[in-house]
Structure 1
């Protein structure tokens, strides 16, 4: 039937051309007769075509040519799937990000770019932390539902931060479904899951992290446990080492770490996390009750925090409350016995963000930590730190630590789906002079920071 159109079109074209030609040359009756015979002939051919049966369609409704093309595509697709499975690419996802950063630190008199700086070249500070990283993440899920994950972050992974090593491992974990996909066994090296703020810059709205993140939370765990998903609840718990890939001689007691999240509705929820057990104690010259040195490498830790969020439309609100204690980890020893006392702290952090435009967001964060008892002392901070602003004030009572606070203001500009530009101003304050000015060697109560970065992810 589709052949009728070209024949009809040809007849119309001839009908248009021939009369014009005849008129132009002085048409005669013979030429008109030939044209009529040609029309009759075309009409006869169209009738013959109408009387011919159409080509049978394939059972699928496709013509034989279409079916042949379909079969060719199916064979190629199956070959590609077989090749993918043989190479192990099925269920494999590769992602990553980089965040080159520029920072100005007032008391350090330092300004410049930082990117992939080694953590063991200067320690963990709030103006370096995990800032300036390059990360690649490999996630593989098998047909059985088991997940395998390896995240590499040269110089700035959680293992490097926790142990002061050059390890690039940030996470190396497995998750195996037991009775169903919502009941899983987890094991390996896992980043800490406490608090409302995420470690990675792709999920952290600001450049620096809050004070609770930097000074009161673990970096990672090495151990095994369970993850349960029940309706609106997600529960994770494990037994293992805190901030250590293996225990040292004489260390036997692990920690129990847990995290519970509840999504109250579409826009809000809360969670809480805790750690209880023995963990590395960086205090030097630990003494027993008689004032004799003891070879203790770890001590009892009890951490608990609760956090919540509200995210709706352009508005984001998040908050966190933390309490913690570590035995024999105070900055100042007992003035009479010389024995290390317990370190205690309590902290609050709150963040609000608002999108003025879909691509432009303003952020404000306020943090405060109470840390005066026994000269101060925070998790892994068992000595005075004149850069982070921890410990007794210069020239003050050595048995009284300082309280710390920080106000951070920032902007986030979403250039496209994969690129975010960030800018930040932060002022840190202490109740005593603990920030050392590297220019004159004096101590101040405040320090200021400016930062900008670009986060590119895929």
Structure 2
């Protein structure tokens, strides 16, 4: 209400009272006092600051120049995002690792740095998946399809199974009804056991005996992949250790793996393979190059592999275990009498690791492989192998130390440590003692055979 109107109202109210109630002089005093009070209130009201005007939409307290600059930044960000998506980078993850390694092998009389050594592609336990350089591309589309390409020159699965290919994995995973049910196709590295192929995920430099000599290398085929709660199941049909089956082998093998994760720190899994694989025993020739078994058996014979593994992590301790069984028809080493026999083997492996400090971890691994039957013979190994200690032992006179039909059982014990230097760098050190029930390790210095061998390794694994 405006001050003038308030004063007039007060006077009108006072005039409305009867004259007899009070004298004119008293009435005037009261009116003056009321007028003075209204005046004081008017001064206080005038002294208060005026209300600030409502901000203009989009300014948020900025100057016009600042608002224009913000608009320009928003436009540039949208353009960069559109360009990022148009070039296919959305959902793309690029990672890699490299692990220059140094290996000393007593019986081989060898001490050398190892990195991308493609001049000798033969797989041995001192020349396996280390000394690698890996580049990994993983792309996921908005629909949930996952495209995966891993390149590993000289040392990947392709180098062993596909004529020296640099492709370690090339696969796509397409969701079917939902993201938990997928069709996984392409070249897929083997999933057997508690150890993985690439060095950044392993605690030691070398692999256990079951990984090296009792597990497949890679599959090329189609897999149904399903996840349900704590269960993860994969089952499929694939070529076994080859990108394309040869003549006479028109059937893929059946492969599967099931994993159960009880929690973040424990779980178990099992795998299987059933079908035909290449039989190196049937491919044997005489000194003139003639096939010794041209009509006895085809070049591919039945293979059965079964394996179970588990892990348990509690506090500073990590425990891993594995048991494997395998057999291949007419693929045993003992065939000196002209008869092909079945190869059969089984093995155990266990690893224990303890975190001494948050960065330093001590590791112990023990392996055992039973390989006596029919002179021995493991997956892909159907001959006496002095580098790996597979097959029958030899005495000083060159004769079989325990008969031509009995293979040697193998043992291995590794002790080592790894040190996490920073988020991307891991130093590894390993001493490994390999032994056998017969003298099966060739000593290249004197040409003889021994029951044991010693290996020392060191590596730096850098990943991003």
TM-score class, shorter: 0.7 to 0.9
Residues 334, 405 of structure 2: 8 Å contact kept: yes
- The 5 A counterparts of 1:265-344 are 265-285=263-283, 293-294=295-296, 296-333=298-335, 335=337, 338-344=338-344
Structure 1 range deviating more: 245-254 or 440-449 = 245-254
Secondary structure in 1 matching 2:139: strand
Alignment correspondent of 1:263: 261
CA distance in 1, matches of 2:325, 2:56: 75
Alignment correspondent of 2:350: 350
Alignment correspondent of 1:35: none
CA distance in 2, matches of 1:200, 1:60: 54
Give the CA deviation at 1:61: 4.6
CA distance in 1, matches of 2:304, 2:376: 16
Secondary structure in 2 matching 1:121: coil
Secondary structure in 1 matching 2:460: strand
Alignment correspondent of 1:420: 426
CA distance in 2, matches of 1:312, 1:410: 20
Alignment correspondent of 2:14: none
Q: 1:355 to 1:93 in 2, by over 3 A?
A: same
Residues 385, 391 of structure 2: 8 Å contact kept: yes
CA distance in 2, matches of 1:317, 1:291: 46
Alignment correspondent of 1:456: 462
Give the CA deviation at 1:299: 1.1
Give the CA deviation at 1:74: 2.0
Give the CA deviation at 1:72: 2.5
Residues 348, 369 of structure 1: 8 Å contact kept: yes
Residues 57, 63 of structure 1: 8 Å contact kept: no
CA distance in 2, matches of 1:63, 1:56: 10
CA distance in 2, matches of 1:279, 1:68: 69
What RMSD, in angstroms, separates the aligned Cα atoms of the two structures? 2.0
- The 5 A counterparts of 1:201-240 are 201-240=199-238
1:444 aligns with 2:450: yes
1:74 aligns with 2:80: no
Based on CA coordinates, which of the two structures has the bigger radius of gyration? 2
- The 5 A counterparts of 1:120-269 are 121-163=120-162, 165-269=163-267
CA distance in 1, matches of 2:436, 2:76: 67
Q: 1:293 to 1:316 in 2, by over 3 A?
A: same
Residues 254, 279 of structure 1: 8 Å contact kept: no
CA distance in 1, matches of 2:440, 2:428: 29
Unaligned runs of 5+ in 1: 1-46
Give the CA deviation at 1:266: 2.8
Give the CA deviation at 1:301: 0.6
CA deviation vs aligned residue, 1:147-183 (integer Å, no higher than 9, x gap): 10110000011021234x2210100000000000000
Where do 4+ consecutive residues of structure 1 move more than 6 Å? Answer: none
CA deviation vs aligned residue, 1:85-118 (integer Å, no higher than 9, x gap): 1111111111000000000000001001010011
Residues 332, 374 of structure 2: 8 Å contact kept: yes
Alignment correspondent of 2:89: 89
CA distance in 2, matches of 1:93, 1:62: 40
Alignment match of 2:406 (pick from 400, 417, 437):
400
Residues 286, 293 of structure 1: 8 Å contact kept: no
Q: 1:292 to 1:223 in 2, by over 3 A?
A: closer
CA distance in 2, matches of 1:307, 1:101: 28
CA distance in 2, matches of 1:307, 1:252: 31
Alignment correspondent of 1:379: 379
Secondary structure in 2 matching 1:73: helix
Give the CA deviation at 1:57: 4.2
| Number of equivalenced pairs | 406
CA deviation vs aligned residue, 1:289-333 (integer Å, no higher than 9, x gap): x96545722111100000000012221000000000011110111
TM-score norm. by structure 2 comes to: 0.84
Residues 58, 67 of structure 2: 8 Å contact kept: no
CA distance in 2, matches of 1:135, 1:50: 70
Alignment correspondent of 1:43: none
CA distance in 2, matches of 1:182, 1:111: 48
CA distance in 2, matches of 1:291, 1:228: 43
